[in-house]
Amino acid sequence: MPTAPGPPRIPAAHEFHDTDIDIDIDTDIDRAHGPYDLPVPAYVPTRVVFGGGTAGDLAALVRERLGERLRGRPFRRVLVVVGRRTAAKPWQETAIGACRELGAALVVENPRANPTPESVQTVLEAARRHRADAVVAIGGGSVLDTAKTAALLAGGGRSVEGALREGVPQARTTALVAVPTTAGSGAEVTRTATVWDERGGRKRALDHAGLFPDLAVVDPLLTMSAPGAVWASCGLDALSQAVESSWAVAATDESARFSLPAVRMAADGLDAVLADPDDERARTRLSRASVLAGLAIAGTRTTVPHAVSYPLTLRRGIPHGHACALTLGAVLRFNAAVTAADCRDPRGAEHSKDALRAITRALRTPTPAAARRRIDDLVRRLGLPPLRAYGPADCADIVDDVVSYSRFDNNPRHMTRTRLAALLRAESAR
Ligand SMILES: [Fe+2]
């Protein structure tokens, strides 16, 4: 393995300046430097290897980085979970081939995007039948969430539905490696897995320390085959996660060291990929933003725009990241007007205002109003329709759903049912 260059410096929240944020990202695609380990916050146990071409070294990286855990014992049986197998993803067979070097591999295609309890159960049963001692997930957020859940439950007897209802009593006994192929969800470094309950009309989630993968291998070059609509929505998910994590009540100095650079990299990365979808540097920037945002929300969780997105995805079929971004700008302006009377953060309104100023600067804008315009403008230039395209005009049908998600407590400014209804009404009329 080539010598790794030093990790990038990530500034603390209080020392956040424009110049700090432009870490030396362009060296990441210089393959001569090889893959290197990204720094992670103390609350994330996952080892993260980043760099263009890293997926080609998957078997060697797993042996090297998980050597301690393996204690000289190679995997015997590996379940490989992938997205749809297609010639448009030439790297897919290379990565699957690398998994075969690790042990007897069973390859399963993730049954569907936006996984349901039933679709995840299918993959869980494959893991149990194969008696997998390792699960390798190679795909987008849905593939990663499905594989994470299967790995967590494989060693026990509980079904996916049972786990969602009653939790998971045991630790994970099956090794777990995540190789994201889209830049957005950050699932390769989080302890949650989303399951969409379409019959119940609810987004549900498992939250368990065993859902943190042991190893994440992030290769920006894998994201280049994602179609425009996919990378755009995924990039907006990364941007939303980065922004929401930065203002979250649960944010800390440590999480802000990841979330604030992610805000800038996600917005700049989306601009750059829009300008040239084949630009490896742009893709690298977006991939880095996605991992950093994931590392941030692993500790902070998300807030109102994510809560709004769930019914927009379930009821209107809007892809996750796009659905988050539809109210991100409006909630930014709402939060920027926080006062002592309606601040939810125990550190006070000035602290929250400070976070909003840092987000505004990270977006390279002078005011929250301009920050909002940059976000809305990004959505428009990415060719994604505004909220009004999805009716009904007042969004009254989703308010109850949104309020029922617990993310409101994590928003820095108190968001009431009435305020949310007004915000959605205004957004639908724009
Ligand atoms: Fe998200």
Length of the chain, please?
430
Estimate the crossing angle of helix 320-336 against helix 368-381, to 10 degrees: 160
Give the other-Cβ count within 10 Å of 271's Cβ.
Answer: 18
Alpha helices in 175-279 (DSSP H): 228-247, 253-275
At residue 4, the pLDDT reads 44
Longest dimension (CA), the chain: 62
At residue 402, the pLDDT reads 86
Phi, psi of 343 (to 5 degrees): -80, 135
Give me ligand 1 centre to Cα 306, in Å.
Answer: 6
At residue 91, the pLDDT reads 85
Residue 241 CA: distances (Å) to CA of 15, 41, 206? 21, 16, 18
Q: How far is CA 147 from the centre of its chain?
A: 15
At residue 186, the pLDDT reads 96
Phi, psi of 63 (to 5 degrees): -65, -45
Give me ligand 1 centre to Cα 241, in Å.
Answer: 6
Give me ligand 1 centre to Cα 239, in Å.
Answer: 9
Give me ligand 1 centre to Cα 321, in Å.
Answer: 6
Give me ligand 1 centre to Cα 281, in Å.
Answer: 23
Give me ligand 1 centre to Cα 386, in Å.
Answer: 18
Q: How far apart are CA 420 and CA 403, in angstroms?
A: 9
Give me ligand 1 centre to Cα 71, in Å.
Answer: 35
Eight-state DSSP code of residue 413: B
Phi, psi of 68 (to 5 degrees): -60, -45
Give me ligand 1 centre to Cα 230, in Å.
Answer: 14
Give me ligand 1 centre to Cα 242, in Å.
Answer: 10
Give me ligand 1 centre to Cα 380, in Å.
Answer: 19
Give the other-Cβ count within 10 Å of 292's Cβ.
Answer: 33
What are the structure tokens assigned to 286, written together? 């977006």
pLDDT tens by residue, the chain, 430 residues? 444 444 455 555 545 555 444 455 555 445 445 688 999 999 999 999 999 889 988 999 998 888 776 666 678 899 999 998 888 888 888 899 999 998 899 999 998 888 999 999 999 999 999 999 999 999 999 999 999 999 999 999 999 999 999 999 999 999 999 999 999 999 999 999 999 988 888 889 999 999 999 999 999 999 998 888 889 999 999 999 999 999 999 999 999 999 999 999 999 999 999 999 999 989 999 999 999 999 999 999 999 999 999 999 988 899 999 999 999 999 999 999 999 999 999 999 999 999 999 999 999 999 999 999 999 999 999 999 999 888 766 677 788 888 887 788 899 999 998 999 999 999 988 8
Q: Which numeric CATH code is attached to 227-429?
A: 1.20.1090.10
Give me ligand 1 centre to Cα 298, in Å.
Answer: 11
What are the structure tokens assigned to 63, written together? 């042996």
At residue 240, the pLDDT reads 98
Domain limits, CATH 3.40.50.1970, in the chain: 35-224
Residue 399 CA: distances (Å) to CA of 143, 405, 416, 417? 29, 10, 10, 7
Give me ligand 1 centre to Cα 146, in Å.
Answer: 15
Give me ligand 1 centre to Cα 393, in Å.
Answer: 24
Of the candidates 195, 235, 263, the one whose C-alpha atom is nearest the C-alpha of residue 324 is 235
Give me ligand 1 centre to Cα 39, in Å.
Answer: 22
Q: How far apart are CA 55 and CA 143, in angstroms?
A: 16
Q: At the topology level of CATH, where does 35-224 sit?
A: Rossmann fold (3.40.50)
Give me ligand 1 centre to Cα 235, in Å.
Answer: 10
Domain limits, CATH 1.20.1090.10, in the chain: 227-429
Grouping H, G, I as helix, E, B as strand and the rest as coil, residue 30 is coil
Give me ligand 1 centre to Cα 69, in Å.
Answer: 30
Q: How far apart are CA 76 and CA 102, in angstroms?
A: 7
Grouping H, G, I as helix, E, B as strand and the rest as coil, residue 24 is coil
Of the candidates 79, 68, 66, the one whose C-alpha atom is nearest the C-alpha of residue 133 is 79
8 A C-beta contact, residue 291 and residue 186: yes
Give me ligand 1 centre to Cα 269, in Å.
Answer: 17
Q: Kindly report, residue by residue over 297-317, the tens digit of the pLDDT.
A: 999 999 999 999 999 998 889
Q: How far apart are CA 145 and CA 188, in angstroms?
A: 9
Give me ligand 1 centre to Cα 307, in Å.
Answer: 10
Partners of 194 in the β-ladder: 205
Give the other-Cβ count within 10 Å of 340's Cβ.
Answer: 8
Give me ligand 1 centre to Cα 291, in Å.
Answer: 12
**Strand pairing of 104-109 and 77-82?**
parallel
User: CA neighbours within 13 Å on the CB side: how many for 415?
Assistant: 31
At residue 394, the pLDDT reads 63
Q: How far apart are CA 274 and CA 228, in angstroms?
A: 9
Give me ligand 1 centre to Cα 103, in Å.
Answer: 33
Q: How far apart are CA 366 and CA 14, in angstroms?
A: 18
Four-point Cα dihedral 178, 43, 319, 261, nearest 10: -100
Give me ligand 1 centre to Cα 286, in Å.
Answer: 15
8 A C-beta contact, residue 229 and residue 172: no
What are the structure tokens assigned to 122, written together? 């299918």
Phi-psi sector, 248: left (phi>0), alpha (psi -120 to 50), beta: beta
Contacts of residue 288, Cβ cutoff 8 Å, sequence gap at least 6: 25, 28, 50, 220, 262, 265, 269
Q: Kindly report, residue by residue over 61-100, the tens digit of the pLDDT.
A: 998 888 776 666 678 899 999 998 888 888 888 899 999 9
Residues with CB under 5 A from ligand 1 (ion): 237
Q: Kindly report, residue by residue over 154-208, the tens digit of the pLDDT.
A: 999 999 999 999 999 999 999 999 999 999 999 999 999 999 988 888 889 999 9
8 A C-beta contact, residue 405 and residue 303: no
Q: How far apart are CA 277 and CA 27, in angstroms?
A: 19
Give me ligand 1 centre to Cα 140, in Å.
Answer: 12
